[in-house]
Structure 1
Amino acid sequence: MLRILIVEDEEIIRRGLISVIDWAGMGCRVVGDAPDGLAGLELLRAEHPDVVLTDIRMPRMDGIGMAERARAEGILPQLVFLTSYAEFDYAKKAIALQAADYLLKPVDEAELAALMRRIAADGTAQEAIPQTVEGVDWQRYFSDGTLNPYVRHAMERIRTNYRERLSIEGLAETAGVSASYLSRKFKEATGQTFLEFLTRMRLQSAVAQLRSGKYRVYEVAEENGFGDYKNFCTVFKKYMKCSPRTFLQETGGRLPQEDE
């Protein structure tokens, strides 16, 4: 059963979504609701829902700001924006956040039910994905006061610059420590080598882009720091145990027409 968080500043709309929609009939359960992005962020941290259904424009913190904060902390679930025709330009910003979809207000229950079924099916398919591409819990690492400062620096670079060419040697030189020292401390803190951790981050983004159906495989390779198409396919197959095309077929995604 999908666990749903609703974030909407208009109380009438929020209460209507909670009480009028037949969530149980969709295989869903509302685990919380909030009137703005700040309160929504707190509930995201506490409840870890499967889906957040959020308005875009809200006081204190809007839906996009909330989603960006949640993504930075590694706690952003499937994201569905509530929008109106007048706000559609705002919804375009959600492309970078890899939103599952947009729903126009007032919400059509049949459309919502179809979306929840798709998200549930996506979740089932995602369970087969190896641990290598599960979301990185950045908050767990960065809230650890004992985290080695050089490891913290390396992780910050991975989080913000994973699309760029990064190496343990380059980061160690910048930090003024040896590569062997940084490698050892990084493995102690994460249980993974620097390259494994970086690849996991890149694959996490690559999988989401592939499944959106908006990118060709070579574009995903370039966008996420894998370099050329061939290298990306090799790395993808090593970790995912299948090619990008096979992955899409098995998870119900599709490539742009030019790649078919």
Structure 2
Amino acid sequence: TYTGDNIRDGHFANVRNKALGSQHLLSLPREHGNSTSGTFGYLGGRVTLPGTGVSLLVPHGAIPQGKFYEMYLVLNKAESTLLPSEGTQTVLSPAVTCGPTGLLLCRPVILTIPHCADISSSDWIYQLKTQSHQGNWEEVVTLDEETLNTPCYCQLEAKSCHILLDQLGTYVFVGESYSRSAIKRLQLAIFAPTICTSLEYSLKVYCLEDTPDALKVTLPCNAGMGCPCFPKLFVL
């Protein structure tokens, strides 16, 4: 083994530890199973929450050279997060936290979140909202109304939204219908016990948004029934 490799690796490890040690930034509690993290430097990288469609892409050069940051993603549970409900708006995505907040970025990162809007319908008005430290939801941008001063940009695809962000935080994608004819995709998830010892047979039926995270969150709640889930999709 070439000793120079060990010296070089040790040098970069020391630089990384010093950079992380000087990272005094606001962070949020992370919950096992609904969060993930990674340490990134100048070369960037990607962190993904498996099975949810949520990811954070840190491009090359987004983090200052010589710095290393631990960055994380949290999928916020609906029952523990007060989701925005204003007028006739409806929530189209999970509320996702990417952090830590207050991070100095040299270029935008890309947050990808799933959504359940049928974008073939032109009746949607889409908005991205962020949650303040006081817990209030504030509008960040309305899609197709971006300007040079818009704090972020969104690229909408059939089942996901890619958001270019300069500031990390908690975000959610919402929509409002022009004429009440916009379509929101939903799915039915049915749970049943594998063994029935009586004449009674119990079923649990959930109506969920048609996003991967909705089913992922529901599955552990019904693991005690000892049964697989058979989701049946339908459009509302």
**TM class, shorter-length:** under 0.3
* TM-score normalised per structure 1: 0.23
Between Structure 1 and Structure 2, the one with more helix by share is 1
The TM-score with structure 2 as length reference comes to: 0.25
Higher share of residues assigned strand: 2
